Amino acid sequence: MRFHAFNTFPPFGRRVDIHEMEDNTMPNKSSRRRQQGSVSPGRLLVSEPTRRQEWANKTVPEILADYQPGKAPPLKVLEVLLELFNTLHTSLEKTVSHKTRYERAQFLRRFFRDLKAKAGFNTIPDPRNLGQKHIHAMVLVWQREHLAPATIQTYLSFLRGLGMWMGKHGFVRGPAHYGLSLEEYQRHEYAQRDKSWSAAGIDIEELIERVCAYDRYVGASLRLINAMGLRRKESIQFRPFEHVLPFSETGLPLDHKTADRYVRIKGKGGRVRFVPLDSPARLAAVDLAQGLVRNQDAYLGDPVNDLKKNLRRFDYVLEKFGITFRELGVTAHGLRHEALIEHFEALTGQPPPVRRSGDLPAEVDQAARQAVAELAGHSRIRSAGAYLGQSVVMRSKLTNHPSSAAMLIKDQDRTQRPPMTGDPIQLG
């Protein structure tokens, strides 16, 4: 059987063969970046979910022709667009996580309802008739509601995706075009305060012990987060036996060896990292987890629940013990901050800038930040700044070269994409 892919708006509705498209629209086959043509890419990957049977031999314009503007309910048209495109990443040749699909769909549905409920429009527009006046009006609503800069950036990113689905590349402009000030849309890439549990005056060991006594699975997850800086979901999906490997099976260079055994963690975007079991805390956390699971390939979460229920249970237990911003001023993610800050201190001998430390030699600071970024499961060294604060080197660069700050902000705006997995509001 030969598979076909359909360009969203092919000339004269012509069907485009996937082999022809590879030759003509993907000149750099080593790149995963989606080619930004004049039209939306449509269904490109054979691995993507198939369309409805009645859509199988239709192009996207032919499908949408059955939903004429002014006659079809706008929210029904939106659901059709979501069904066609919501699995796609807006810039890469890949699908997005279920979390991103859910959050993007929920936002777009709410956006169109709020145009009438909050922005003062008499009717909800057809998504294909969405105009700049609608976005301007909703930005004013977001300003009145004092949404966080990262939230506004995420919302605009979702709208850019909607524009691409309809073949309107560049339809959604930069935040400044809609009257947003720098303070209203600029993300804080670097930690402005210490979010760790110890900074909030919490006795970490005592609190985790109390959680363990109430729910051993959630308590074991907290110990893994505290020992290795895992994300909440990573700790629940951790398989205490299957994910512990000898160094020889990690594929890491020999000069990287710091322990006999390593933990394999698959994080955001499918990125895999290996954490050495090189401390008593890490060994104890893994031993505790191994004592809870029923068999060699089981994950740490309660086996009677699926992942979704285990995530809910985790949140419920933490709320019960006051581990929220409202009660204790911290979340489970703060325990991840704790682990990464401690890792930086162990490497450098002094606290990071977020704890008001003194200056470090640039090469020492950069090497430690690289190690922290790798432990956290990020690919860029500057990601460490979300936990450690801004380095003296970066502060001096931005102070001495004001244009550098502007270029950094411009670059952040240009590269901003919908979140993959993890929190949309803060760096995961």
Cα torsion angle, 173, 108, 157, 86, sign = negative
Question: For residue 8, what pLDDT is reported?
Answer: 40
Percentage of residues of the chain with pLDDT beyond 90: 49
pLDDT tens per residue, range 302-319: 999 999 999 999 999 999
- pLDDT score at 168: 87
Report which of 196, 132, 186, 199 is spatially closest to residue 159, judged by C-alpha positions: 132
Name every residue whose Cβ is closer than 8 Å to that of residue 95 and which is 6 or more positions away in sequence. Answer: 45, 47, 48, 87, 88, 89
pLDDT beyond 90 at 291 = yes
Q: Give the pLDDT of residue 98.
A: 86
For 172-230, the pLDDT digits (tens) are 888 888 887 766 666 555 556 788 999 899 999 999 999 999 999 999 999 999 999 99
Give the residue with greater pLDDT, 57 vs 417.
57
CA–CA gap between residue 289 and residue 311 (Å, rounded): 17
Instruction: Read off the pLDDT of each residue in 386-412 and give the average, rounded to a whole number.
Output: 54
Provide the β-strand partners of residue 154.
Answer: none
The whole-number average pLDDT for the span 273-288 is: 95
**How far is it, in rounded angstroms, from Cα 422 to Cα 424?**
7
Q: State how far the Cα of 90 lies from the Cα of 110, in Å rounded to an integer.
A: 20
Query: What is the CA 229 to chain-centroid distance, rounded?
Result: 16
170: left (phi over 0), alpha (psi -120 to 50) or beta: left
| Top-ranked range on mean pLDDT: pick from 282-291, 373-382, 387-396 | 282-291
Taking the C-alpha atoms of residue 211 and residue 176, their distance in angstroms, rounded to an integer, is 46
What per-residue confidence (pLDDT) applies to 184?
A: 60
pLDDT score recorded for residue 148: 82
Please give the Cα distance from 216 to 160 (Å, whole number): 43
Q: What's the whole-model pTM score?
A: 0.62
Torsion of CA 382, 388, 391, 394, to 10 degrees: 40
- Summarised one tens digit per residue, pLDDT across range 22-80 is 334 344 444 455 554 433 344 444 445 567 888 888 888 889 999 998 899 999 999 99
The pLDDT mean for the chain works out to 80
Q: Look at residue 243 in the predicted model and tell me its pLDDT.
A: 95
Rounded CA-CA distance 9/24 in Å is 16
Q: How far apart are CA 355 and CA 389, in angstroms?
A: 8
- 127-176 pLDDT per residue, tens: 999 999 999 999 999 989 988 888 888 999 999 999 999 888 888 888 88
